[in-house]
Amino acid sequence: MAAARAIQRMAPSQTLAPNIEPAYASAPRHATAGCRDARLTKREIVLTPETDAVLNQLVDIFRQATGTRLSTSHVIRAMLVATQGTTDALREKLGQIGSVRLPSNAGGREAERGRFEMLLASAFTAAMRQARPVKPPA
């Protein structure tokens, strides 16, 4: 119990292992008074070097194609909007996988986590193929 309280008091950059995200870090953090839009929610994610490179590449593609300096948040929000029409298909595809064991975040378990995430990615891409088209606002 005392260890859990000690970790909660630590800033995310002070956690013991860089690849382990504290449980509270994924909880929504609502924007503060200094933020331009109080309706926004700030979230933190932990990426591997490979997934970070993919995210950076996606942002660069969006920037080059649109000719804007859009942010990573713009890209992530657009991707989430695109997934709104996939919830039923995603539920179905994940149901076909069935119950699986969540891999440990401990060091040396990277391959196990990679296999787990590839399984999720496979279901996600199958669901996205069935997605309803997103219609831009008129």
pLDDT tens digits along 13-27 = 333 333 333 344 445
Q: How far apart are CA 120 and CA 71, in angstroms?
A: 26
Q: How far apart are CA 93 and CA 127, in angstroms?
A: 7
Q: How far apart are CA 28 and CA 6, in angstroms?
A: 21
Distances (CA, A) of 75 to 23, 41, 91, 123: 25, 15, 24, 21
- pTM as predicted: 0.68
Residue 80 has pLDDT above 50, yes or no: yes
Band the pLDDT of 31: cuts 50, 70, 90. Answer: low
Mean pLDDT, residues 78-90 taken together: 92
